[in-house]
Amino acid sequence: MSRGTQAIIHLQNLRHNFKVLSQLASDKLVLVVKADAYGHGLKNIVKSLHHVSYFGVATLDEALRIRKIRKNVKILLLEGYLDAKELELTLKNRIDCVIHQQQQIDLLNQLNSTMRMNVWLKYDSGMNRLGFNDETYPWAIKQIKKHRNVAEIVLMSHFASADKIDKKRYSDFTCKQKQYFLSYRNEEPFSFANSPALLNNLKEKGEWCRTGLALFGVSPIAGKTAKDFNLKPVMSLKTTVIATKNIKKGQGVGYGQSYQAKNDMKIAIIGIGYGDGYPWSLSENAYVLLRNQAAKIVGKVSMDMMAIDVSHLDGVEVGELVLLWGQENSMILPVETVANNANTIPYVLLCQITSRVHYEYLE
């Protein structure tokens, strides 16, 4: 705790975002909270969203964790069951499953039970990840529709490029994905839109929307921040100054001496590094906020600390607060900006925070 490295989770912002997204999705919303709720802490996130009726996760372990917290909420297992034991557990715990390959239907056929589940049947519309293709999807639909263990069926697919819209026109590939998938739509409920599709107004009337990153107040669309969509950042990552140092022109900073001081300067050492999940690979534009002013990161990020240029700030002292991303009072540094300066995406930054960062949940 002495380093002051904290991830502050603003639960009121989380609920604000849920309200905004629910309105966009006409209340047909599956909140995707996989990967420990995108690094925000699955247990606390699920517990704080009292009026949510549907959560989506990637793994069975995640689904079972939610079931312990919320006895009656609907849960969608996005990768589905992968063997007979997992199938039994999903049925026992009333977990809805994505079915994306014939092997899963075969396992369902071998089931000696009258228990039923809701199935989301996945079509691969061109992403080439999970899902049946044009040759196998019609047969899969036919099998699932008449299956004794299936209660409800939802047809689904997944956008690959919904975050890319040029001059307000859908990309050719996105148009083709919609065309291919919607050709299978009949009377069944369906789901295609993810966070970028929902924010880019690509959703179809009446469909289930699956949103993850946007729930946490982060834009999945390049060149946009959460503020552009009336979303608020849920996580603020901050630390403190643990030392200051005056260095002379020509002296190096950090491993490899990759940074050489062009003038006499003052640096501050702050208590965060790649061991806490801060990215090691940064562009020359990377910075943090100290006293609501940008302080450029200099030298390579170490495991436990990194250096910032505070030459332009008078009397910086040990213990002063440094904002890595998010918001702290009047200081705002969007995680989208930090990701861009680290040559990565916000998903990675949020999900790679390590266990030694202290989490605090604020109502």
From the candidates 19, 92, 245, 255, give the one annotated as an active-site residue.
255
Main-chain dihedrals φ then ψ at residue 69, nearest 5 degrees: -85, -45
Task: Provide the phi-psi class of 264: left if phi over 0, else alpha when psi is between -120 and 50, else beta.
Answer: beta
Q: Look up residue 160 and give its two tokens.
A: 């690959």
Q: Do 52 and 73 form a contact (C-beta atoms < 8 A)?
A: yes
Residue 323 half-sphere exposure, CB side, CA atoms within 13 Å? 22
Residues 184 and 179: their CA atoms lie apart, in Å, by 9
- Is 361 annotated in the active site? no
Q: Look up residue 151 and give its two tokens.
A: 């209660």
From the candidates 28, 34, 85, 361, give the one annotated as an active-site residue.
34
Write out the DSSP string of 110-157: T------EEEEEEB-SSS-SSSB-TTTHHHHHHHHHT-TTEEEEEEE-
Amino acid in position 170: Y
- Is 34 annotated in the active site? yes
CA-nearest of 304, 313, 297, 307 to 245 is 307
Active-site residue set: 34, 255
